Amino acid sequence: MTKSIMLATCIALFSAVPALAQGTGAGPVAAQCANDIQSLCATKGHGTRQTRSCLEANRDKVSPECRQALDTTGRGRGRGQGPGR
């Protein structure tokens, strides 16, 4: 009986790992810029590029983590990476 319980527990845990890894489906910008979005771009439509455009327009005001996410994703990918990137 104990082995059955342990096996069932292991199966349940390993089944949950992929779901946990996916999180809420939010990308790095949404995750790293959540506070900046709330304070600087709350009126912009989510998922319409308006939010990202707003963050880009306010680059000097966003957190370093948000700036990193902007630099390494989407149209900002490779910014500040030097030649060849």
Q: Where are the domains of the chain?
A: 24-76
Q: Outline where 26-75 has alpha helix (H).
A: 28-32, 34-40, 50-57, 64-72
pLDDT in tens, 24-80: 557 999 999 999 999 999 999 877 789 999 999 999 999 999 999 999 998 666 554
Q: What is the CA radius of gyration of the chain?
A: 19
DSSP string computed for 10-35: HHHHHHHHHHHHHTTS--HHHHHTHH
pTM metric for this prediction:
0.59
Please check whether residue 63 is in contact with residue 36, taking contact to mean a CB–CB distance below 8 angstroms. yes
d(CA 85, CA 81): 6
